[in-house]
Homo-oligomer: A and B are copies of this chain.
Amino acid sequence: MKYLDKSKDELAKLLEEAMKVYKEYQRQKLSLDMTRGKPCSEQLDLSLPMMDALNSESSYKLSNGLDARNYGGLEGIPELRKMFGEIFDVPAARVIIKDESSLNIMYDTVQFCLQFGTGGYEPWNKQGPVKFICPAPGYDRHFAVTQALGVEMITVPMKEDGPDMDLVEMLVAADESIKGIWCVPKYSNPTGTVYSDKVVDRLAAMKTAAPDFRIFWDNAYFTHFIGESDVPLKNIFPECEKAGNPDRVFMFASTSKITFAGAGISMIISSDKNIEEFKNRIKYQYITPNKVVQLMHYNFLQSKENLNALMKKHAQIMRPKFEMVLNTLEKEFGNSDVLKWTSPKGGYFISVDTLEGCAKRVVQLAKDAGVALTNAGATFPYGNDDKDRNIRLAPSYPPIMELDLAVNVFCVAVKIASIEKLLEKAE
């Protein structure tokens, strides 16, 4: 149904119908949560065998001779460095395995640059204002890190194949105070975008005014397909080397959505020179990551093939949820002119765009009917979605029956907010 060419009376009637449905939902006193990209219990159960992968009878001796239960081994266990080196097609020496939070490594990496500088250049703290490019819609926690650390954010639109590269290239070439860009290059949060080879090449090769410019390459969903198989992402490191920018990229990843969320392992991968620099920072910061957790992960995962098999099981749990949401959106708004959405092949989110000026109202309406959605605006730097259009839907966590209810509430909220907006304009 097209809403934009409806008469005022028709709209009023549609609103009345929608309100009737909405009030019916309100009467049910729902309490449903679609706010965050959390794995559901069924997904977490997939990795329960990991908890049997180490017990009091196990060997804790690592391949480098260290006892996983004792101090030593700043870089993480060699078993996992090798395995993830193979997965990401980089030498194991360029992989540092840390604890459960890749966000923590990202925060530390930005803080290291601020306090100590990178590549031998002055600490960013001493170089005056520092700016980061933030493709949006994007990941709210990235924006929170940069804001907390006093880094100014420049919003750049996300396109189908990645950030608007014409704009990115223009900005970084012109402004020396732009020191970084946040990227979620695969199954991007929240749009599900996989950066095209062309975008990867341009990011690797672009001229930057700042010699100490860095790409914060958050490969959070590197193997998190929902469909039958994975969509490839071009390896950015060889492109950086070819372009003469070997130290441009800090890559981050974790197993939070592979094994346990916030109880897995995480990593940073970069050039030899950057890894050397990173080790020279962390050797003061801590003594060793938790090698027992790392060994438990290694014993459980073992290989790229096992990891892929595990991700197929995740996909089997995720796929019906995504399909259900997408089918409902299609049924309710398939031929409409008030809602657009992404159909991601991986990741944890569906990104929707309402009519301009409706997102906040939709989230409020959903909330008032007991359905918590991610705050409107959260996907933009400073929480500021100029057009008040974007909402992030997170279908992973709720059981499918609850999700069904939640998305139906969402749909009626979209109808109400859209019709209200159109009526407002008609006046």
Assess the A263–B52 pair: CB atoms within 8 A.
no
Assess the B71–A149 pair: CB atoms within 8 A.
no
Assess the B287–A103 pair: CB atoms within 8 A.
yes
Assess the B104–A286 pair: CB atoms within 8 A.
yes
Task: With A51-B56, A68-B263, A104-B285 as known contacts, state yes or no: A99 contacts B290, CB within 8 Å.
Answer: yes
A291 interface residue per 8 A CB criterion = yes
Q: A75 — which chain B residues lie within 8 A by C-beta? A: none
How far is A83 from B67 in the complex, measured between Cα atoms in Å?
28
A233 interface residue per 8 A CB criterion = no
Contact mask A150-191 → B, CB, 8 Å, 1/0? 000000000000000000000000000000000000000000
Q: A108 — which chain B residues lie within 8 A by C-beta? A: 285
Stretch at the interface among A38-46, A127-135, A192-200: A38-46
Name the residue of chain B whose CB is nearest to the CB of A265. Answer: B290
Assess the B292–A260 pair: CB atoms within 8 A.
yes
Number of interface residues of A (CB under 8 A): 53
- Picked from B36, B55, B67, B289, the residue with its CB within 8 Å of the CB of A44 is B67
How far is A108 from B38 in the complex, measured between Cα atoms in Å?
27
A49 interface residue per 8 A CB criterion = yes
A58 interface residue per 8 A CB criterion = yes
Copies in the complex: 2
Assess the A69–B260 pair: CB atoms within 8 A.
yes
A100 interface residue per 8 A CB criterion = yes
Name the residue of chain B whose CB is nearest to the CB of A259. Answer: B69
Task: With A48-B56, A115-B149 as known contacts, state yes or no: A71 contacts B287, CB within 8 Å.
Answer: no
Task: With A100-B289, A144-B284, A290-B293 as known contacts, state yes or no: A262 contacts B72, CB within 8 Å.
Answer: yes
A401 interface residue per 8 A CB criterion = no
- Picked from B103, B114, B261, B287, the residue with its CB within 8 Å of the CB of A115 is B114
A215 interface residue per 8 A CB criterion = no
Q: A284 — which chain B residues lie within 8 A by C-beta? A: 107, 141, 144-145, 148-149
- A383-423 interface (Cβ within 8 A of B): none
How far is A58 from B44 in the complex, measured between Cα atoms in Å?
13
Assess the A101–B58 pair: CB atoms within 8 A.
no
A111 interface residue per 8 A CB criterion = yes
Q: A125 — which chain B residues lie within 8 A by C-beta? A: 115, 125
- Picked from B58, B70, B144, the residue with its CB within 8 Å of the CB of A39 is B70
Name the residue of chain B whose CB is nearest to the CB of A70. Answer: B261
- In the complex, how many angstroms separate the beta carbon of A128 from the nearest chain B beta carbon? 13
Q: A44 — which chain B residues lie within 8 A by C-beta? A: 60, 67, 69-70
- In the complex, how many angstroms separate the beta carbon of A142 from the nearest chain B beta carbon? 10
How far is A44 from B291 in the complex, measured between Cα atoms in Å?
14
A288 interface residue per 8 A CB criterion = yes
A30 interface residue per 8 A CB criterion = no
4 shortest A-B CB distances, which residue pairs? A262-B288, A148-B284, A48-B56, A104-B286
Instruction: Beyond the given A41-B67, A47-B69, please list 19 additional residue pairs across the A-B interface where CB-CB is below 8 A.
Output: A36-B71, A38-B70, A44-B60, A44-B69, A44-B70, A51-B56, A52-B55, A68-B263, A99-B99, A99-B290, A100-B289, A103-B286, A107-B286, A111-B115, A115-B149, A262-B287, A263-B288, A263-B291, A292-B293
Q: Can you report 5 residue pairs joining A to B where beta carbons are below 8 Å apart?
A: A51-B54, A52-B56, A55-B55, A68-B263, A100-B290
